[in-house]
Amino acid sequence: MDRKGLEQLIFDTYSVEPDYPWMDTPESAVFRHAANRKWFALVTTVPKSKLGLPGQQPVDIVNLKCDPILIGSLRAEPGFYPAYHMNKENWITAALDGSAPEDKLRLVLDMSYTATAPKLRKKKA
């Protein structure tokens, strides 16, 4: 999946459009819940070397919140890397160059959306 495909998937699935909060990195977009403003996805472009890959060619990536139990097994999958510029215990990075399996990317996106969603509060009796 590429960047445009991911952005379209997020819009079609969650009705969320990208927010571009940083003037110094206008290519960086966050996707967040309207109710609590929490991010569930951060899309940006980095040199391949930032992912531990050879070369300086730019690659689009997405950071997604992930259950720490799953991070190790996801990192064994092609296209998944330790979180770039985020807490590596709770976030994972996926390359948006077609190398990450689309079914896994969709699954982690959905988990990230759910994990960052507003919590329902129980009413006191």
pLDDT tens string, the chain, 125 residues long: the values are 999 999 999 999 999 999 999 999 999 999 999 999 999 999 999 999 999 989 999 999 999 999 999 998 999 999 999 999 888 889 999 999 999 999 999 999 999 999 999 887 766 66
Domain ranges of the chain: 3-115
Q: What is the CATH number of domain 3-115?
A: 3.90.1150.30
Distance CA 42, CA 91 (A): 10
Residue 60: beta bridge partners?
45
Residue that has been written with the tokens 């994972």 in this structure: 92
Quick one: CA torsion of 71, 73, 78, 82, rounded to 10 degrees?
30
Distance CA 98, CA 124 (A): 48
